[in-house]
Amino acid sequence: MATFVQLLVYGLQLGSIYALLAIGYTMVFGIIRMINMAHGDFLMMGSYAVFFIVSLLFADLMIGPAVALLVILIGSAITGLIGVGVERIAYKPLRSRPKISSMIAAIGVSIFTQNFFRSLPFIGPNPRTFPKLMEDTLFFIGGIQLSMMRLVIIALSIVIMALLYLVVMKTKIGMQMRTVSCDKDASSLMGVNINRVISVTFFIGAALAAISGAFYASSYPILLVTMGATLGNKAFIAAVVGGIGDIRGAVLGGFIMGVVEIMISAVYSELAYGFSFVVLVIILLLKPEGLLGKPMIEKV
Amino acid sequence: MKWIRRNPEVVFIPLLYVALYIAQRTGFFNNYIMQIVMLACINICMTLSLNLVNGITGQSSIGHAGFMSVGAYTSALITTIMLDVSCMSPFMQLVIFLLATVFGGVCAAICGYLVGMPTLRLRGDYLAIVTLGFGEVIRSIIRIADVVGGARGLTGIPKLASLFWIFAFVILTIYACRNFIDSSYGRACMAIRDNEIAADTMGINISRYKIIAFVLSAFIAGVSGSMYAHMIRYLHPDVFSYAKSTDFLVYLYAGGVGSISGSVIGATILTVLPEMLRAIANWRLVIYGILLVLIILFRQEGIFGGKEFAFLKMKTGGIQNIGFFKFRRKLKKSPETSAQEEVIQ
Amino acid sequence: MKRILCLMLTLCFVLAVGCAPAQPSSPAAPAAPAAPGAPEAPASSKVIPDEIKLGLMSTISGGQAIDGKNMTDAITLVSEELEALGGLDVDGKKVKISWVIEDTEAKPEIAVNAVQKLIEQDKVLAIVGPNNSGETIASGEISQAAKVPQITNTGTNIKVTQVGDYIFRACIIDPFQGIVVAKFAYDNLKITKAAILYDNADTYSSGLSESFKNAYEALGGTIVANEAYSGQDVKDFSAQLTIIKNANPEAIFYPSHIENIPLQLQQTRGMGITATLLGCDSWDYAALPDLVGRDVLEGAYYVTGFSPDADSAKDFVKKFNDRFGYRPSFCSAMAYEAAHIVLNAIQRAETIDGPGVRDAMAATDMDLPSGHVKFDEFRNPVKSGTVLQVRDGVAQYVTSIEPD
């Protein structure tokens, strides 16, 4: 029993990372309907940005939480701007095409960024240790081991989720995002500046990727240029399982993925990888619109 | 000989093979170039197979390498482990290879049926995830299957897929695809792609045609897998990873989705391109990434989007041109996006 | 009907043209007539070319790009050494050696393309690499058929050299490495309960875990937990480590690629597991203590085929360190040795061609950084396994275990 609870905790901890990833992913995915295969690479860029800021400015200094937060925000702003740039150059011309075209462009961007970073002499293929932004303390409650860092991440993903929910539901830009997601042409006719809305969406999406990158790298402190390669997929799956475009769904999907992965690995580690996909597929078969998605009514 | 003039490919294709063959024998094309030609041929088949599902029927499969691995492993299991063909006469080897290849294709088709059946209610991104999941499940099963080498990979597969068989297979696949698209089945599939509800109202059995396209596509993928196994002679579960499926998607969409010529050209160019970039060593894949983005930006519908070589165009009556323009117009506001937009409302 | 008929006719025609000669033609048709003729004629007088091209295949891009960098650095060092000498001295003539470096992306089919390019396009005399067993097996089939000797630096899987007599390796094989770890744990450390955490998607990792398990159980030890994870992108091992922790082993063996090791070790210690850490040759990476954290790695043992403290290695380690600013990893050291085995064979070869160099390589008998190297009849080097322990953040020599 204690083992079960412990595994559940580990699952939720891993899920919190997936959830944080999926939030940023589902923003872009929900509004532009684009499978952004480069999302994991924005995560990589974000964590490298934080790494370089810290190691250049605060070499070997222990930084406090306030500075750490500031550094993460700067890093995510940089990544957000890169995201907007990438969107302008590579995705915007494809906006009227089927979304799979922009997915191919995103694959191209992903191949480019990974290999470009690897080829740069000051980054290269060697792994780096991510600096400790906050001290991770372990503590026990009734024999169950908990990690402070992971609790912070869980709290943070809920806070970000709430913030984003507020932004999308209560602000003007959020309303514009929702209209764009409903009908691009009609919202354009109603005076919504689509370019601006999509740029803002991409900025938020890439910045969130960078924030999750910083926290991801704090939990798994080894930086590699390929670290984001498969994370984009995991975020994609989490977003779809939770219900496409639904921010709460992305968080739920992330947690479910984490728990499923950990639980199955503990039972039979040899087949765990395949089985976790089976479970996700079964969820989709039982609830094809995703856990929190609304059933679709198709009109002609 | 009027029909030869109408069907120039009857002369053209054997000539192409003869040219390739002579180039190989005289050493004008060395083994390196022949290797790339054969790899390109296999990629063409995989792309055509994907085109049937993604391009013609409008479904999204992003785990096609899974079907390829089923074909590759079952055929290699027969030729390498169950029957040791290396001590047989060349003729018997050939017969067993072809039977094993067909068997590999059939196994893949069965998997296609099993995956296709329950997932018909899903569409778009959901189907994509199921196919992705299928590929990964197969991969994780192969990893622990000791009979085919598990994670250590399967070695010692006899080299039975010669240029001739791979070439013949590509030609057969192109013909099969063209005739499928040209048939009533193909048109039903395209109707489903363009508007599922309208197709349903017109009396098309949607599930049936989706399954047919899916199974045919899986069969071709399985056969390509067998060719791959008997050409590379080494199989490892990670060869058929998600990244491999993505490669085929890239070939398909960069070449031009829905177009046979596009699949052929896309797969060929993108197989050859990374090899041509070997001269720039370390920056090879950097440039490849940039070129990929440029291709998709400057030829948004793919290199051959909405176009076909003359000999691959549909031949039955006047429908050819109408279908052609309809397709182009449809692409501008794609069926997928418009369907999705309707869904959200 | 007409079209079907026409298609059939076409096929028959093509079949008639292509089928019969296509069978024997496939591998190395143009090379075949040259090979038997060449060694006989110039056997007495060795023809020494002015320039010799050698190939290097490595995972320059992809998930194992670190190994690619380690290998290319080692080859850079070799070619700089040769440049300083003015070329390779073959029977008194200075021969210019140039290296052609190709990327395998850690994919077998790309490795096959790369090896074909090296052999057909660049006409290399011999090939060093690739660093993975899978790619070496796939590409080895080609170089075997073309009679081009190939020597992998870290392709440890036993099947690699079974491809044919032109395929060599510079490192110790998986089964032997597993035996060394097992023997060391059971005999020297007196550990009777061990656990394994391995990557079941990876050739190297699963092969090593299996050989360790078999050897350890044969010695009388118990494997209390044998836990797998799938793929290099797995970052969280808490489920597997929980099972391992509950099984309470005295030592844990981590046969994985270097990319995964730091997180595994950090998470092990983070869970409060105090068992002894055992590693394999991939651990031999100079920056590992800093990546993992010195306190985590302190006291860990790993097996490798090369000890940087040995007298024979000091010179190489110093040169490498001065040139690139880091201590050579096992991968670099083996690439360096593989290159020297090839160069030495060229000097001794009776003829400067594939078969001549192969025969000379098989008769290798020379001193290298890892010690004296000779090949057995399966073209595996006869080497002892070296056990190192990390003390104060530096790997230090503990003992050597001889092959039986």
- The predicted structure's pLDDT at residue C31: 39
- How many residues are there in chain B? 345
| ipTM confidence score | 0.87
Cα–Cα dist B241/A156, whole Å:
33
Contact A298 B342 (CB under 8 A): yes
Rounded distance between C-alpha atoms, residue C347 and residue C350, angstroms: 9
Please, which residues 232-291 of chain A have a Cβ atom closer than 8 Å to chain C?
261-263, 265-266, 269-270, 272-273
Q: Residue B343 pLDDT more than 60?
A: no
Position C11 scores a pLDDT of 52
Model confidence at B316: pLDDT above 50? no
Find chains touching chain A: ≥3 CB pairs under 8 Å: B, C
Picking from B27, B32, B150, the nearest residue to C121 by CB comes out as: B32
Whether B14 sits inside 8 A of C60 (CB atoms) is no
Written as one string, the DSSP assignment of C155-210 is ---TTGGGG-TTEEESS--HHHHHHHHHHIIIIIS---EEEEEEETT-HHHHHHHH
Cβ distance of B300 and A115 shorter than 8 Å: no
Residue range A5-19: mean pLDDT, rounded: 87
Tell if the CB–CB gap between C138 and B281 is shorter than 8 Å: no
Contact across the interface for B289 and A110, Cβ inside 8 Å: yes
Indicate the residue of B333, B337, B343 with minimum beta-carbon distance to A296.
Answer: B343
Read off the pLDDT of each residue in A221-246 and give the average, rounded to a whole number: 83
Q: In chain C, which residue's Cα lies nearest the Cα of B2?
A: C2
- Predicted confidence at residue A34, as pLDDT, reads 80
Please report the pLDDT score of residue B332 as a whole number.
43
**Cα–Cα distance measured from residue C383 to residue C170, given in angstroms and rounded to the nearest whole number:** 9
Q: How far is C194 from chain B (nearest CA, A)?
A: 22
Q: Shortest CB distance from C229 goes to which of A7, A125, A269?
A: A269
C137 and B60 in contact (C-beta within 8 Å)? no
Phi/psi-derived region of residue B317, left when phi > 0, alpha when psi is between -120 and 50, beta in every other case: left
Q: How many CB atoms lie within 10 A of CB B202?
A: 10
| Residue C135 β-bridge partners | none
Low-confidence ranges of chain C (pLDDT < 50): 1, 14-44
From the CA of C90, how many Å to the nearest CA of chain B?
29
Q: Are B181 and B217 in contact (CB under 8 A)?
A: no
φ/ψ (deg, to 5) at B171: -60, -45
Residue B337 has pLDDT above 70, yes or no: no
Alpha helices, DSSP H only, in chain B?
2-6, 9-25, 31-50, 65-76, 90-119, 125-144, 163-182, 184-194, 196-201, 206-232, 242-255, 260-276, 284-298, 319-332, 335-344
| Domains assigned to chain C | 50-172+310-384 (3.40.50.2300), 174-304 (3.40.50.2300)
Q: Number of B:C CB contacts under 8 A?
A: 139
Could you say which of 1.10.357, 1.10.10, 1.10.3470, 1.25.40 is the CATH number of the domain covering B2-344?
A: 1.10.3470
Distance from CA of B130 to the nearest CA of C (A): 19
Closest CA–CA distance from residue B199 to any residue of chain C (Å): 30
Give the residue extent of every domain in chain B: 2-344
Look at residue A297 in the predicted model and tell me its pLDDT. Answer: 58
Contact criterion met (CB below 8 Å) for A97 and B301:
yes
Q: Answer whether C63 sits within 8 Å of A229, measured CB to CB.
A: yes
- Measured between CA atoms, the residue of chain A closest to residue C237 is A262
Segment among A28-32, A189-193, B6-10, C356-360 with least mean pLDDT: B6-10
| Residue of chain A whose alpha carbon sits nearest to that of B117 | A285
Confidence of residue A77 (pLDDT cuts 50, 70, 90): very high
Please say if the pLDDT value at position A134 is more than 80. Answer: no
Closest CA to C360 of C136, C90, C176: C90
- Residue A46 or A160, more confident: A46
Chain segment B142-185, per-residue pLDDT in tens: 988 888 888 888 888 888 888 899 999 999 999 899 889 888 99
Q: What is the pLDDT of residue C404?
A: 67
CB of A110 within 8 Å of any CB in chain B?
yes
- Predicted confidence at residue C2, as pLDDT, reads 55
Instruction: Measure C240 CA to nearest chain A CA, in Å.
Output: 6
Question: What are the structure tokens assigned to B330, written together?
Answer: 């449809």
Is the pLDDT at B57 greater than 60? The verdict is yes
Between CA B229 and CA B71 the distance in angstroms is 9
Give dist(CA C316, CA C324) in Å, integer: 12
Statement: residue B1 has pLDDT above 70: no
Verify whether the Cβ–Cβ distance A269 to C236 is below 8 Å.
no
Best mutation site among B59, B70, B122, B125 for testing chain A: the one with the most A CBs within 10 Å? B125
Best residue in C58, C59, C60, C61 to probe A by mutation, most A CBs within 10 Å? C61
Nearest residue in B to A275, CA atom: B137
Mean per-residue pLDDT, B258-263:
89
Chain C residues with CB under 8 Å of A147 CB are 270
The pairing of beta strand A222-223 with beta strand A128-129: antiparallel
Cα A47 off chain centre by: 12
Do C23 and B152 count as a contact with CB atoms less than 8 A apart?
no
Closest CA to B231 of A92, C223, C142: C142
Cα dihedral: B289, B295, B300, B301 (round 10): -110
Each residue's pLDDT tens digit, A81-125 = 999 999 999 988 888 777 778 888 998 999 999 999 988 888 888
pLDDT, residue B340, reads: 46
* pTM confidence score: 0.86
Q: What is the pLDDT of residue B25?
A: 84
Q: At what angle do helices B206-232 and B65-76 cross, to 10 degrees?
A: 50
Tell me what the pLDDT averaged over chain A comes to.
Answer: 85
